[in-house]
Amino acid sequence: MSRALVIVLQSLLALAVLGGLFAQVVVIPTTAAHEVELFPPYESVRVPFVTAAIVFIVCLQVLALALGVMLRKAGNGTVFQSGAVTWTNVAIGAIAAGAVVLAGLFVYVTFADIPSPADGMELLGLWMGSAAGTVAAAGVALLVVVGRHWLLRAIAQRRELDGVV
């Protein structure tokens, strides 16, 4: 992988992490406060929703960090060493944690008495979105687990070839 491509991709990941930090500190709390101002009954669900959003973004930031380290390893040609497995495990953990956050949101929306300013369609959208997000995140985590298995096999084959040479 070319050095320039690694730098560009790592820069994009860094921007994503900074954007997530901005969302955690400014956008999410401000938006939640504004929504409560528009519809005061939302005050009862503000803390759980803000917490879920911030924790989900933390999961994405950890995933971006793991991807950044793996990109560096790919750029250095050291991706087929055992240290790469650690960062693959971190990525799997971050994706799985994000799926748990979405599943928790799904359960909360399913059983909580959440007020609605209209006909409740926004709650249905949140319920369906959290369900679909949970399934999608779990699927991605499983795909990365398969990729981890392939990485472990490639590392073992690399060691075997190094022993032959």
* CA distances from residue 41 to 27, 38, 120 in whole angstroms, order as listed: 20, 9, 14
pLDDT for the residue numbered 165: 72
Decide if 103 contacts 52 (C-beta within 8 A). no
Which pLDDT value is given to residue 2?
87
Rounded to the nearest 5 percent, the helix, strand and coil shares of the chain are: 90, 0, 10
Quick one: pLDDT at residue 154? 93
- pLDDT of res. 127: 95
Tokens for 5, please give them. 């491509």
CB atoms near residue 97 (< 10 Å):
19
Residue 51 is predicted with a pLDDT of: 97
Task: Give the Cα separation of 61 and 68 in Å (integer).
Answer: 10
Taking alpha carbons only, the member of 109, 142, 107, 145 closest to residue 126 is 109
Residue 63 is predicted with a pLDDT of 98
* pLDDT score of 134: 98
Neighbours of 163 (CB within 10 A): 7
Full pLDDT tens readout for the chain, 165 residues: 788 999 999 999 999 999 999 999 999 999 999 999 999 999 999 999 999 999 999 999 999 999 999 999 999 988 888 889 999 999 999 999 999 999 999 999 999 989 888 888 999 999 999 999 999 999 999 999 999 999 999 999 988 888 887
- Three-state secondary structure call for residue 164: helix
